[in-house]
Amino acid sequence: MRVLSRKTSLAACALTVAALTGAPAQASATSGQAAAGSAKGVPAAAPPARSANWGTPCGPPFVQDDKLLGPLVLPHTSPLSEILAGYRRYGGLIPADFLRRYLNPATNFYRFPPDSGFAHAGGFSNARVLVTQVKLPIGYKVDRFGGETGAFLAPYGTPFPARALPPSNLNNAPGDPHLCNYHVYRVIRPFYVDGGPAAPAFQQPGQGEQFHTIARYIPGAPANPDGEVSIGWLVGNGYLLPLN
């Protein structure tokens, strides 16, 4: 079991990801790196972030008018601009190849990694899952890209490539004012989660810390069919305080 420190920063997250992925330039790259990528073989059909003149940051519009491919315009305001620094959507694939690789035709949604998206020892799929019980202390800041029905968090400011999420997780949610469906919280009542590095997925390196909220760790918490407790329940029952 681990107990986390209250202190965290964008710079620390970026340096951690750089060390884990072996790509130090990625963590410090600016959003201009994506624009330069189109001149280095990134297909025009998969454009990098556009200026606000092209539409609303985090959509609409969406790439090729397909929400699965994420927003055409990415934000240029803090903290999202720092979190998205170095993000190369589709990892160099054209959109059609990206969808062919990761889309489940039966559900018309993405395939996610097994074992709740936690990495495996040595990067081998049949090796030990790198997950342990973690205590989130009072004052610790966490965030997520997604609504409060979900059950995953990350340390505040974790770079987007390190989260290994699909591009659709950046989409604005209808009726939700949070830009890019990005939510920030402070822990106001300590609780336990499953924690460990995210497995590589969706052409992203992963390896950033992720937290999986498990109902059995929290007295009285209701469990969904996967044994998870939602972020919304944690907010409503005094464990998490929304900050944005």
Q: Among this protein's residues, is 50 annotated catalytic?
A: no
Tokens of 8: 């965290």
* Phi–psi pair at 9, nearest 5 degrees: -155, 160
Q: How many CB atoms lie within 10 A of CB 147?
A: 14
The residue among 131, 147, 142 whose CA lies nearest residue 196 is 131
**Could you confirm whether 163 is annotated as catalytic?**
no
d(Cα 74, Cα 108) in Å, to the nearest integer?
24
Residue 13 C-beta-side C-alpha neighbours within 13 Å: 27
Which residue is catalytic, options 88, 144, 163, 207? 144
Dist. CA 120–CA 130, nearest whole Å: 5
**Are 98 and 203 spatial neighbours (Cβ–Cβ below 8 Å)?**
yes
CA distances to 22, 92, 159, 201 from 25, rounded to whole Å, are 9, 17, 13, 20
Residue closest to 198 by CA, chosen among 145, 244, 239, 235: 145
Active-site hit among 26, 203, 204, 210: 210
CA separation for the pair 193, 227 (Å, rounded) = 12
Q: What are the catalytic residues? A: 144, 210
